[in-house]
Structure 1
Amino acid sequence: MSGPDVTVRSVGIEGQPLVVIDGFSADPAALRAAAIAERFGPAGQHYPGLRASLPADYFQERGSVLADVMARAFGYRGRVDVLDASFSVVTTLPSALSVRQRLPHCDAFAADRLAIVHYLSPEGGDGTAFFRHRSTGYETVDAARAPGYFERLDAELQDAGEPPPSYIADDTPLFERTMLAEARFDRALIYRSFLLHSGAIAPGAALSPDPATGRLTVTAFLVAA
């Protein structure tokens, strides 16, 4: 039985690594069944949907491939800790999105923080898009850039008005899409959390709360110790 297929892409002008792993799970059907059996609840924070608990051995099963990726793509050879991880399903209708949910975002502002998105919908569906803020040229927002970036973005929103009630999946007047990573069943993406990104949810996408039919993923956040 062959192992996962791992490729490393370079995102945009800043050239941040994006790891794409096809065949991330030894048994994706069983993982999907575990999600369907779970009780989902409101995600909280800024995630536009629902979350549920992962199986206890989720990261243990993937330990060797993650260790290789952390060293090869990101240069981390020490301990990497899991900060948060869950099954996730996008459910928020475009009309109910907050202004911030209509824009690219960062999950954290430190270079040692990493995000994982593991797609578990058999039909693939919407992937993840990465962006450059046009006026600053930023593709990443760290702690040093954040104050100026948000000041500039707030001023632009004041001048241009709020973005339309939709998920951002392509170019807009304020942001240029630098890459689209397509969703595939049992594909995982790993990238630094300070990359500007968004779920590339297409207009008219069915946003079912049922993990058997909705946009089911695992979302996880790690930190390199």
Structure 2
Amino acid sequence: MIRVLLADDQTLVREAFAMLVESAPDMEVVGQAGTGRQAVTLARTERADLVVMDLRMPDLDGIEATRLIAADEDLTGLRVLVPTTYDTDEYVVEALRAGASGFLVKDTRPAELLDAIRTVAAGDALLSPGPTSRLIARFLRTHTAPPSEAGPENLSEREREVLTLVARGLNNTEIGETLQLSPLTAKTHVSRIMGKLGARDRAQLVVVAYESGLVAPGER
């Protein structure tokens, strides 16, 4: 069973998500939070596998709550999925920086939401290349990327190739086919890149690739 924590300051939204999640035979709702601080507390006590985290909440917003969860060594396996009203919501980039594993638009179909929960809970990132590219492009036009001690310049040529393909939305099998590697070798490269860049998951690799200029928004 996938243990899901729902964090949103709107009760009706939480209840709607809860009914949908509980309708799936492989999921259960283990808690509901109306503030970011409550979300962090419940994440630590209820041992959820995934948090559906709204970004705009009182007391502590979803970005800071995500950052606290990602920084907690006891919550290493906990993933954060961010629902947003628009795929141009620049706050989503901050959430991905903070440690969220993906985002989806709130008006997505119910089956797609459940699939998104399964994808992120399994440890994969949920980032559609098109919307992600546009979103990060908008963000970078008005924000300066924070300095990083570990960037793509510290990677080997092969690792930069792999990172570029990750940013374009390819999975390990597709990366392997593109670079004539086995899926296992591609996966090993991705794991090493995450270690070198201090990234929590593939979602943060995508942000690093765009912010560093390794991949240009709109580039395929």
Task: Identify the TM-score tier after normalising by the shorter chain.
Answer: under 0.3
Higher relative contact order (CA 8 A, sep 6+): 1
The structure richer in strand per residue is 1
More helix by share: 2
